[in-house]
Structure 1
Amino acid sequence: MKLRKVTAAASVALALAVTATACGSDNKHDSGSSGGNKIKVGIKFDQPGLGLKEPSGSFSGFDVDVATYVAKQLGYKPDQIEFVETKSADRENALARGDVKFIAATYSITDERKQKVDFAGPYLLAHQDLLVKSNSDISKATDLNGKKLCSVTGSTSAQNIHDTIAPKANLREYSGYSECIAGLQSGAVDAVTTDDSILAGFAAQDKYKNQFKLAGLKLSNENYGIGVKKGDATTVKKINYALAKMVSDGSWQKAVDKNFGPANYKNEPAPKTGVIVK
């Protein structure tokens, strides 16, 4: 895998360079979309293990844990955080409108997106992968020829496999990953594809315990970043400091183990801020 440094020498010294600024935020709330004594943070509401709104109204998942840690470093207690659902198609607009201060929602850093928003991080390196039944003999992408492969409507993940690796795979598009996982459980499909972190989050649910496994194929690199309104360099620096601290004090690994551990998710080491794996 090729590493591309986003900010040259500045990225290497980033955490140290902003320590004074970030520490000062512990006692002073940010303005803007934080709304005084509140901060609005964009997450997903429908991704177990990452960003999920529970029936009780509480929130769980790795992105939620990361966002909560970051908000604390910005000076906010958990009860001062207002989580806002930000669907993939609306993330850039939500930041531009000021609906949220930042977004942690399986938000892959891409050159196209960087034209519209700024990113802190990355804070997780994910990969496109396959989820199959625990007793499945599918171990590589070419095994999907003649098999039923599921992804959500509009996703390019399954199409990419069909076009480049397994042209005889039978594609199935469902409205959401929950439907794909249910189809995998019932035998309606043979495999589900998207980011391994998303698949691990579903597989880690109690109702699916020991039923599924990740193939571990690493078909792409997805560098999850925290989206910030374009031009808000101060917030980017503070969040990068918070992410570096989350890794150094062990909170990052604890969050990975808690949210993905039941799926035997073999996560990559914590990425360094400003370094993108291509």
Structure 2
Amino acid sequence: MHVNEANMTSMTWRESAGGRGLRVWWKTLLAALCAFACMFSLAACGSDKEAGKIRIGIKFDQPGLGFKKSGTYVGFDVDVAKYIAKKLGYSEANIIWKEAPSKQREAMLQNGDVDLVIATYSMNAARKKAVTFAGPYFVAGQDLMVRKGDTAIKGPDDLDGKRLCSVTGSTSAVTIKERYSSKVQLMQQPGYAECATALFSGIVDAVTTDDIILAGLASASRGRLTVLGKPFTQESYGVGIKKGDHALARKVDDAIRQMEADGSWQRAVQENTRGTSFKPDPKYNPPVPTEGEQS
């Protein structure tokens, strides 16, 4: 090998090594910058959570509770969510609303798709194994809704031979059949709005589920349907939080207590059941939110 060739080979090797070194240094820098950005914003590095936002799961199809209407969200659960978010430091503009169907609520919290679930979420032992709860913020009771003016049905004992509608997979109809009226004719629909339509049309004689859900449907019916106002079970609605986040649960409990103390809770109930005679069972409402402290 000539001297010139050796020099050129040596130069090429040095340039190549330098290039590789520069590339390694650049990749290391990019990784460090990404890690640094992740510390300040979960929007970076592949997460779908936006900085300064809170994601709340609600129902989109329950009038009076969680209902999507012309791009806006209304209902008692929505009002509770807005109040809690504000106390946590988020304005209404910084809430990202997510639809939370009943069967998906636990998974949405476990996967980090939402920060809170406020969607008529009854607290029970099985669910507490999967998520942490705060609340309760409302204690509902199973009740019956009938056509206005119908006096044949005064309670669950009057349902023998009657046609009763509830939602597929709901335990409400099972409760009626097992505890009160074994001869009731059950009709199941995919949603309570369909049950309300069946009731108004005369296809069924009554609809059963939690009283505040029925009150929302009755309010939307503009006086054509009415809730009996005689609840015969209790269901404590809680705010679902990712399992183990006890600090957040305690903050949510504090917010619920403030909402009840300053009258906002009472106004939210009244505004979202307007036009009905619905009143929450005073034996249980407004409830004392202690779940966050116990979790």
Would the TM-score normalized by the shorter structure come out above 0.5?
yes
**AA partner of residue 172 (structure 2):** S
**AA partner of residue 115 (structure 1):** K
Where does the alignment leave 5 or more consecutive residues of structure 2 unmatched? 1-39
Q: Is the 8 A contact 1:102 1:226 kept in 2?
A: yes
TM-score, normalized by length of structure 1?
Answer: 0.84
Aligned with 1:63 (options 65, 73, 77): 77
Q: Is the 8 A contact 1:33 1:39 kept in 2?
A: no
Distance 1:159 1:122 in 2: 24
1:235 aligns with 2:251: no
Structure 1 residue ranges (4+ consecutive) displaced by more than 4 angstroms after TM superposition: 29-34
1:140 aligns with 2:155: yes
**AA partner of residue 123 (structure 2):** I
Question: Alignment length, in residue pairs?
Answer: 245
Q: Is the 8 A contact 1:91 1:103 kept in 2?
A: yes
* SS across alignment from 2:286: coil
**AA partner of residue 252 (structure 1):** W
**AA partner of residue 142 (structure 2):** Q
Q: Is the 8 A contact 1:109 1:223 kept in 2?
A: yes
Choose 208-217 or 131-140, whichever is displaced more.
Answer: 208-217
Pairing of 1:35-114 with structure 2 (within 5 A): 35-54=50-69, 56-114=70-128
Distance 1:154 1:228 in 2: 24
Aligned with 1:199 (options 200, 203, 214): 214
1:118 aligns to what? 132
Deviation at residue 238 of structure 1 after TM alignment: 0.8
Deviation at residue 109 of structure 1 after TM alignment: 0.8
Which string of whole-angstrom CA distances, capped at 9 and with x for unpartnered residues, describes residues 91-122 of structure 1? 01100111111110000111111111111100
Kindly name which structure, 1 or 2, has the bigger radius of gyration based on alpha carbons.
2
Distance 2:57 2:168 in 1: 23
CA change 1:162–1:225 in 2 (3 A) is same
1:272 aligns to what? 288
* SS across alignment from 2:226: strand
Q: Is the 8 A contact 1:34 1:101 kept in 2?
A: no
Deviation at residue 142 of structure 1 after TM alignment: 1.4
Deviation at residue 147 of structure 1 after TM alignment: 0.6
Deviation at residue 30 of structure 1 after TM alignment: 11
Deviation at residue 187 of structure 1 after TM alignment: 0.6
1:215 aligns with 2:228: yes
CA change 1:33–1:262 in 2 (3 A) is farther
Deviation at residue 37 of structure 1 after TM alignment: 1.3
1:248 aligns to what? 261
* SS across alignment from 1:119: strand
